[in-house]
Amino acid sequence: MKRRWMLGLIALLAVISLSGCFPGGSASAAREAGFFTGVWHGWIAPLSLILSAFEPQFGVYEVNNVGWWYDFGFYMAIIAGFGGLSLVRRKHKK
């Protein structure tokens, strides 16, 4: 039980410390978002959606991006993050 609390606390601290990387934040204007930024934004898309409901300057998708590579990373992370790839790899045992 104590181990679960520690893992939950570590996960919460990691999300809070990386919250500066949300799409549309102050770091967004400095440079264009690339492939790996797209992957990160795809992974945190549910949190970005919730945050964007309360803070209008944040969004789910970074508009200041490099184009196709950002899109590819974003959608790849969305599909993988919500279990789309695990459905393909799942082995059915009978």
Q: What is d(CA 4, CA 43) in angstroms, rounded to the nearest whole number?
A: 22
Asked whether residue 69 is assigned to any structural domain, the reply reads yes
Tell me how far CA of residue 15 lies from CA of 11, 18, 25, 43, 44, in angstroms.
6, 5, 15, 11, 9
What is the percentage of the chain residues whose pLDDT exceeds 90? 5
Residue 14 lies in a domain: no
Question: Do the beta carbons of residue 41 and residue 74 sit within 8 Å?
Answer: yes
Domain of 38 in residue numbering reads as: 22-89
Domain assignment present for residue 7? The answer is no
Domain total in the chain = 1
Is it the case that residue 87 has pLDDT exceeding 80? no
Give the model's pLDDT for residue 72: 92
Residue 1, domain member (yes or no): no
For residue 25, what pLDDT band results from cuts at 50, 70 and 90?
low
Q: Which residue is listed with tokens 């789910």?
A: 60
| pTM of the predicted model as reported, rounded to 2 decimal places | 0.65
pLDDT band at 86 (very low <50, low <70, confident <90, very high): low
